């Protein structure tokens, strides 16, 4: 039996789901709000773990291509204190493949391949349980019915209200992102400071993280505890005003570290929101969620990994038990909730320690998780 299956969202969750379904010869329709794959900057770098994101790529038949595109050297991690003293300088072994980095844009292109995505199709809501099935409503006024609608539409999911009334809440930590280009030629001093992978500087209730992407591009994240409205006196479109505000927040930090903020281009404001740890819902026939739509958590290296593995596992569950779609989804949801709940607890505790009144807490966390 051929089911009518739709996935809303062409991020890591939705694309992996579609790729694995297609590998099992199951048709699926992907709806994405962006008008085109390159409609907005793809974002920074992602580390994909062996037993999560890489396993998902294996299920999609894309692991060898990932290995060719990823950057194992990007696993390097350097930790400094606010005075600029290097506290840890971890380099991966040449054969280390536990968490190689990949640019988000490269991962998206790898997952897209020849998938047929319906671009520019923003979903406004999904109504389950009608005579036609679950009905998807679009911003342009159109509607389409499916046997299963999978919400993989991220933090502010429009599918989620069909299964759960819960919405994300603010963690108390804000991240402001900036970037440097051609760092090796234009900013060789900062290239040396950062190293081959990531560099993190921890102070009281503040952190500054710089991550290499390919092609000499570096993303810098200033993270700090602040009320959600900390910026109300600022014009966030005025890069110089934001830069001054950030330099004031990181006042007293070592000059080379502050240079990351001085030389960054534009600034993007990202207050960190999360869903409650262990977010679940009573099963709703015809609709489910994947990835951030189901379990938005602090960005500590798990979200995309979980999103991709869930996409792959839901697809496999559907392909393995095609007669009872509902049962396949139900079995998948139990598995997703258990694993996502575990990671939500880990990342929530992690954020508390990384942006903490005591910078030693961040260093201790690094020592616990980093292979020596
Ligand atoms: C700074 C930062 C660094 C991170 N680093 C890592 C990392 O190293 N490793 C890791 O595992 N995770 C990381 N994460 C988390 C990771 O980015 C997310 O968990 C992951 O992108 C979730 O994937 P997703 O497919 O569920 O959602 P998303 O990536 O948010 O994709 C959702 C898609 O749905 C589309 N969409 C949204 N609304 C609609 C709509 N109404 N109709 C149609 N389409 C819609 C969006 O345009 C988007 O394409 C990081 C996050 C941040 C912010």
- Ligand 1 nearest atom to the CA of residue 157, by list position: 38
Rounded to the nearest angstrom, the distance between the alpha carbon of 292 and the centre of ligand 1 is: 6
Q: Is the CATH code 3.30.70.270 the one for domain 169-274+356-369?
A: no
Report the pLDDT value the prediction gives residue 1, as an integer from 0 to 100: 61
- What residues does CATH 3.30.9.30 cover in the chain? 169-274+356-369
Q: pLDDT by residue (tens digit) across 82-133?
A: 999 999 999 999 889 999 999 999 999 999 999 999 999 999 999 999 999 9
If one residue of 139, 154, 270 were mutated to test the ligand 1 pocket, choosing by the most ligand atoms within 8 A of its CB, it would be: 154
User: Does 74 contact ligand 1 (Cβ within 6 A)?
Assistant: no
Question: Facing residues of 287 across strands?
Answer: 149, 284
User: Does 299 contact ligand 1 (Cβ within 6 A)?
Assistant: yes
Residues belonging to the binding site for FAD are 47, 104, 292
* The total number of residues written for the chain in this structure: 372
Report the pLDDT value the prediction gives residue 83, as an integer from 0 to 100: 97
Report the pLDDT value the prediction gives residue 2, as an integer from 0 to 100: 82
Report the pLDDT value the prediction gives residue 218, as an integer from 0 to 100: 98
Report the CATH superfamily, name and number, of domain 5-74+101-168+275-354: FAD/NAD(P)-binding domain (3.50.50.60)
Rounded to the nearest angstrom, the distance between the alpha carbon of 127 and the centre of ligand 1 is: 23
- Ligand 1 nearest atom to the CA of residue 159, by list position: 41
Give the residue, by CA position, lying nearest to ligand 1 atom 26: 291
What's the CA angle centered on 219, arms 87 and 244, to 5 degrees? 85
User: Does 297 contact ligand 1 (Cβ within 6 A)?
Assistant: no
Q: Determine contact, residues 294/340, Cβ cutoff 8 Å.
A: yes
Residue 43 to residues 112, 285, 347, 362, Cα–Cα distance (Å): 16, 34, 20, 25
| Nearest alpha carbon to residue 80 among 176, 203, 175 | 203
- What residues does CATH 3.50.50.60 cover in the chain? 5-74+101-168+275-354
Report the pLDDT value the prediction gives residue 256, as an integer from 0 to 100: 96
- Ligand 1 nearest atom to the CA of residue 124, by list position: 41
For each of the chain's 372 residues, which pLDDT tens digit applies?
689 999 999 999 999 999 999 999 999 999 999 999 999 988 999 999 999 999 999 999 999 999 999 999 999 999 999 999 999 999 999 889 999 999 999 999 999 999 999 999 999 999 999 999 999 999 999 999 999 999 999 999 999 999 999 999 999 999 999 999 999 999 999 999 999 999 999 999 999 999 999 999 999 999 999 999 998 889 888 999 999 999 999 999 999 999 999 999 999 999 999 999 999 999 999 999 999 999 999 999 999 999 999 999 999 999 998 689 999 999 999 999 999 999 999 999 999 999 999 999 999 999 998 765
Give the residue, by CA position, lying nearest to ligand 1 atom 41: 123
Rounded to the nearest angstrom, the distance between the alpha carbon of 297 and the centre of ligand 1 is: 11
Provide the whole-model pTM.
0.97
């Amino acid at each position: 039996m051929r089911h009518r299956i739709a996935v809303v969202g062409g991020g890591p969750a939705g694309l992996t789901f579609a790729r694995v379904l297609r590998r099992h010869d199951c048709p699926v329709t992907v709806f994405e709000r962006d008008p085109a794959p390159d409609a907005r900057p793809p974002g920074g770098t992602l580390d994909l773990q062996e037993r999560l994101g890489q396993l998902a790529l294996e299920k999609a038949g894309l692991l060898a291509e990932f290995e060719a595109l990823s950057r194992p050297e990007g696993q390097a991690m350097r930790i400094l204190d606010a005075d600029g003293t290097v506290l840890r300088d971890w380099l991966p072994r040449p054969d280390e493949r536990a968490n190689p980095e990949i640019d988000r844009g490269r991962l998206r292109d790898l997952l897209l391949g020849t998938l047929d995505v319906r671009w520019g199709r923003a979903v406004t809501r999904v109504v389950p349980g009608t005579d036609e099935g679950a009905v998807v409503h679009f911003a342009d006024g159109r509607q389409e019915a499916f046997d299963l609608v999978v919400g993989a539409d991220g933090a502010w999911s429009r599918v989620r209200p069909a299964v759960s009334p819960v919405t994300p809440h603010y963690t108390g930590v804000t991240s402001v992102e900036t970037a440097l280009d051609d760092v090796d030629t234009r900013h060789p001093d900062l290239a040396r400071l950062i190293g081959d992978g990531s560099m993190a500087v921890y102070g009281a209730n503040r952190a500054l993280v710089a991550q290499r992407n390919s092609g000499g591009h570096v993303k810098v994240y200033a993270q700090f505890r602040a009320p959600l409205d900390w910026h109300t006196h600022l014009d966030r479109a005025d890069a110089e005003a934001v830069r001054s505000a950030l330099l004031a927040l990181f006042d007293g930090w070592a000059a080379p570290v502050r240079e990351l903020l001085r030389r960054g281009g534009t600034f993007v404001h990202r207050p960190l929101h999360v869903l409650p740890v262990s977010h679940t819902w009573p099963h709703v026939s015809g609709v489910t969620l994947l990835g951030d739509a189901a379990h938005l958590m602090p960005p500590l290296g798990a979200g995309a990994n979980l999103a991709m593995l869930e996409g792959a596992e839901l697809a496999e569950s559907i392909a393995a038990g095609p007669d009872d779609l509902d049962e396949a989804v139900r079995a998948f949801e139990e598995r997703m909730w258990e694993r996502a709940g575990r990671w939500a607890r880990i990342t929530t505790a992690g954020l508390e320690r990384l942006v903490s009144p005591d910078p030693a807490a961040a260093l201790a966390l690094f020592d616990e998780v980093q292979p020596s």
